[in-house]
Each structure stands twice: as structure tokens, then as C-alpha cells.
Amino acid sequence: MNQTFTVTGMTCNHCEQAVTRAVKQVDPQAQVKIDRAQNRVEVQSDASRDVLAKAIAEEGYAVAQ
């Protein structure tokens, strides 16, 4: 399932890596595409939206629902 999140607070490549790592801890098979300029994170995963959003938020980034 493809899910799109609005994630603020990502300012650099390290931030992108942290978000990707957080998603992959929930679902190691997930595919993650990040558009930092648009504050957009697209995730292809079978994990629930709430679980993915929580993992990203726990890394310190704001996730708009």
C-alpha cells in the first residue's frame, strides 16, 4: 500500500536517512521516497499508517495526519 505523509523538520540528508531508517525498522521491505522540499515522505509498505507515523515522530519529526 502506498502512503504519503507530510513530515516537517527534515533539513538535511541525515534527516532523510533517519526517517528512512525509522520506517525500515517497522517494515524492512518498505520502499521510501523523500521530497524534503515538499515535506513529503512516500512509503510503500503493508504496515499501518499509524505505526509508520509513530515511528517517524519518534525520530523527532512532526507528522501531519
Residue 44 grid cell: 510503500
Model confidence, pTM: 0.94
Q: Edge to edge, what strands does the sheet with 2-8 contain? A: 31-35, 40-44, 2-8, 62-64
Q: 15 pLDDT band (50/70/90 cuts)?
A: very high
State the Cα–Cα distance between residues 36 and 12, nearest whole angstrom.
Answer: 8
| pLDDT number for residue 65 | 65
Q: Are 52 and 45 in contact (CB under 8 A)?
A: yes
Rounded to 10°, the helix 13-26/49-58 angle is 140
CA 19 to chain centre: 5
User: Residue 59 maps to which CATH number?
Assistant: 3.30.70.100
Total structural domains in the chain? 1
Residue 38 grid cell: 515538499
Domain that holds residue 58: 2-6+13-64
pLDDT digits (tens, 9 = 90+) for 25-53: 999 999 999 999 999 999 999 999 999 99
